[in-house]
Structure 1
Amino acid sequence: MALKVGDKLPVFKAKDADGNDFDSLKFVGKKPLVIYFYPKDNTPGCTAEACGFRDRFEDFKDLGAEIIGISSDSVVSHQKFAKQYKLPFILLSDTDKKITNLFGVPSGLFGLLPGRVTYVVDKNGIIKLIFNSSLMATKHISKALEVIKELAK
């Protein structure tokens, strides 16, 4: 079942691009989150999306928000992707798709590709925005930033 605006962020754990353990509980209660699911490292849309978040990273950071990208790529793939494009935010490996399923991220492009969905979560762990951007890889970045600005007031 897909998460909805107003739902509490589910607890999840994964490996980040450095192979470290990530636990969502370490962030809830501390800072707002922008969690974005994307299909695949090093594809045109996903690279544009990641670089878009990279280019606006300081804006999010200045507002106290953390950006987290999640795909089914391996830790090694994420390492290379983050290094190649100088991505300063967290990338999580969801090879078994447990997190994707936990959030209820729908498949994109007629079920052929993993979905591209962004969630903005307030510091208390409540989902404030869900943006399904399957065919618009970068459109949601400014929308997420708007919501983070509102939360920062």
Structure 2
Amino acid sequence: MAIPETGSAAPGFTLPGMIVRDGLRTDGEYTLAAEVGRPVVLAFYPGDATPVCTAQLCSYQQELDDFRDLGAVVWGISPQGLDSHEDFARDASLTFPLLSDVSGDVIRAYGVRVPGLGLRRSVFVIGQDGLLRWRHVGLVGVRFPRAETIRAQIEQLVE
């Protein structure tokens, strides 16, 4: 599938996910439509506990309070299962939800699947209206947008 265009409706989904806070894992279902009314940052990453993914998600973790202050939620999405996500979250001290797209349906819906490699490291910012407002889709796996860049996009939405 093609990568959704900026200004188009973000592809909807519901995925299982988990979050580790205060040492406790909580599993749940995460539905994009339930977040209408606040910005959502979707960070697609290839794999738990890999060096670049750890650097990327840890940089977003450091800015998480700024994202929350702007009313935004941040979800990490990868094809690994919830137990792998839990180990990654604990090792990297991540306190935002990590969603599991084992089937790859959401990865395909956002056009970031790469046959044989998994997925392109990508970030999508979805506005309060459910429309895709900004995207960064990596061509190779080592680059990712900085947290400050994403925050600037969210600030434009909430002004």
Q: TM-score, normalised by structure 1?
A: 0.91
2: CA distance between counterparts of 1:12 and 1:23?
Answer: 6
Residue 151 in 1 paired to residue 152 in 2?
no
Give the partner amino acid of 1:78: H
CA RMSD of aligned residues (A): 1.6
2: CA distance between counterparts of 1:127 and 1:26?
Answer: 15
Structure 2 gaps, min length 5: 19-25
* Deviation string, structure 1 residues 7-63 (Cα, Å, up to 9, x no partner): 1112101110233111111102x2101101110000000000110010010111110
2: CA distance between counterparts of 1:53 and 1:102?
Answer: 23
User: Is the contact made by 1:46 and 1:137 (CA closer than 8 Å) also made in structure 2?
Assistant: no
2: CA distance between counterparts of 1:57 and 1:122?
Answer: 17
Which position in structure 2 is the counterpart of 1:8?
9
User: Is the contact made by 1:48 and 1:137 (CA closer than 8 Å) also made in structure 2?
Assistant: no
Selected match of 1:124 from 129, 132, 140: 129
1:139 is displaced (CA, Å) by 3.0
1:79 is displaced (CA, Å) by 1.1
Q: Which has the higher strand share?
A: 2
Number of aligned residue pairs: give it. 150
Structure 1 gaps, min length 5: none
Three-state SS of the structure 1 residue aligned to 2:27 is coil
> Residues 107-118 of structure 1: matches in 2 within 5 Å?
107=114, 112-118=117-123
> Residues 19-30 of structure 1: matches in 2 within 5 Å?
19-28=27-36, 30=37
Selected match of 2:67 from 37, 46, 60: 60
User: Is the contact made by 2:59 and 2:146 (CA closer than 8 Å) also made in structure 1?
Assistant: no
Moved more, 33-42 or 83-92: 83-92
Which position in structure 1 is the counterpart of 2:98?
91
Three-state SS of the structure 2 residue aligned to 1:20 is strand
Moved more, 44-53 or 134-143: 134-143
Three-state SS of the structure 1 residue aligned to 2:119 is coil
1: CA distance between counterparts of 2:141 and 2:80?
Answer: 20
Three-state SS of the structure 2 residue aligned to 1:19 is strand
Moved more, 61-70 or 110-119: 110-119
Distance 1:113 1:100, change over 3 A: closer
Percentage of identical aligned residues:
29
Moved more, 110-119 or 75-84: 110-119
User: Is the contact made by 2:74 and 2:97 (CA closer than 8 Å) also made in structure 1?
Assistant: yes
